[in-house]
Amino acid sequence: MSQNAQPQVAEIVTFKLKDGTNESAFLALIRASQTWVDGLPGFISRQVTRGPDGRWTDHILWADAACAKTAQDSFGHQEFAPDIGEIMNHETLEMRHETVFMAAS
């Protein structure tokens, strides 16, 4: 990254699914949302993981804060958003954006 470039931003969303949610159905919704994410400006990468406690993490890397904000602002207008929102336990939902200081692959 050059000195004048905007830093990359990690969007980190953690949550649990509502009790009784079919995990395969959830993963199908996440895969469907990826088509939308792929088309957004500044999208770099995405990982969706689940910890041993059942908490899921959706980790998306954006080119900069403006790209992350554009995605956040338009998410609720997507066809799949109500279905994803319906199966998430909103009491466990946490979202944050963090500046990336180092990334490797």
* Residues with pLDDT less than 50, the chain: 1-2
In the prediction, which pLDDT does 73 show? 95
| Residue whose C-alpha is closest to residue 11's, from 55, 77, 66, 50 | 66
pTM of the model: 0.89
pLDDT digits (tens, 9 = 90+) for 44-68: 999 999 999 999 999 999 999 999 9
Neighbours of 56 (CB within 10 A): 20
List the domains of the chain with CATH numbers: 9-99 (3.30.70.100)
Dmax (CA) for the chain in angstroms is 49
